[in-house]
Amino acid sequence: MNIIASPEDMQKTALALRRAGKRIGLVPTMGFLHEGHLALVKLARRQADVVVLSIFVNPTQFGPNEDFSRYPRDFERDRTLCATAGVDIIFNPAPEAMYPAGYSVYVEENGLSKGLCGASRPGHFRGVLTVVAKLFNLTQADVAVFGQKDAQQVRLIQQMARDLNFPVTIVLAPIIREADGLAMSSRNTYLSPAERREALCLQQALQTARRLYRAGERDARRIIAAMKAGIEPVPAARVDYIAIVDADTLQRVQRIETSVLVALAVYIGKTHLIDNLTLPENGSSNLPG
């Protein structure tokens, strides 16, 4: 397994691989890997000759009061997991290498990014799209694998790849959950034992939405109200948003008549967690029950 820190070296290596006829798969991460990330690696492994996993805590996608400085990091643990999972290259650049002095070019989207997480985290998706665009260029990826948990992010990346003509196939992987149903996230490590138990309210709210939909309910407002009613009594929980949006446009809907994304973000204590479900169900949420 090769570890590359320099963006220039990463691009030179990728171009040489492309000239040799190799198909490159990219798994972008911020490190502190868990089984969800390793599932992305397995999917990339099936679709590429060479798997590149990037580990980069991207400063431009964090707001001034967010957790950039304390975001969990453990490179040695990540390296061991990557070696076991069959990663060929770890790309682990420093922030100053990705954003050198004088850096001034960013990628901004002006439609899909305005709602959901974009409404409460201004500038977040500008940072995400910028770093992903750079990763696409540096790794010369033929295929890039992302997780369904970050549904809005993936939809934005799909749009960027289309609108800016990146020759990369975006692959969406199902949400990987803990045994009790909590969506896996590096930020779960922030939770106290009590908060960890209370965090189950996210997937329980999605189960409520699914149950109502299966029973014939199509009024989005009623479903959202029922979800919110299940979360509000949880002591540590504070709702950021609960929304039912068109799966393609991410615009809120009044009635569920086509494919929709049921998405929510909830603060459990100080920890911001997200989860989602697609209706009609397509298996991507892996929601228990």
Residue 40 per-residue DSSP state: H
Residue spans per domain, the chain: 2-173, 191-279
For residue 35, the one-letter residue type is E
State which H helix or E strand residue 82 sits in: helix 75-85
What confidence score (pLDDT) does residue 69 get? Answer: 94
Active site residues: 37
What confidence score (pLDDT) does residue 209 get? Answer: 98
Residues 65, 112, 30, 288: is their CA dihedral positive or negative? positive
Q: What is the pTM of this model?
A: 0.96
Q: For the segment 61-78, what is each residue's pLDDT rounded down to a tens digit?
A: 999 989 999 999 999 999
Tens-digit pLDDT profile for the chain (289 aa)? Answer: 999 999 999 999 999 999 999 999 999 999 999 999 999 999 999 999 999 999 999 999 999 989 999 999 999 999 999 999 999 999 999 999 999 999 999 999 999 999 999 999 999 999 999 999 999 999 999 999 999 999 999 999 999 999 999 999 999 999 999 999 999 999 999 999 999 999 999 999 999 999 999 999 999 999 999 999 999 999 999 999 999 999 999 999 999 999 999 999 999 999 999 999 999 999 899 999 8
List of residues 6+ apart from 122 with CB closer than 8 A: 63
**Identical fold, 2-173 and 191-279:** no
Q: Name the CATH superfamily for 191-279.
A: Pantoate-beta-alanine ligase, C-terminal domain (3.30.1300.10)
What confidence score (pLDDT) does residue 283 get? Answer: 87
**What gap in Å lies between CA 261 and CA 242, rounded to an integer?**
11
Nearest Cα to 143, choosing from 171, 120, 124, 182?
Answer: 171
What confidence score (pLDDT) does residue 289 get? Answer: 81
Q: Name the CATH superfamily for 2-173.
A: HUPs (3.40.50.620)
The two three-digit tokens of residue 61, written as one number: 């996608």
What confidence score (pLDDT) does residue 65 get? Answer: 86
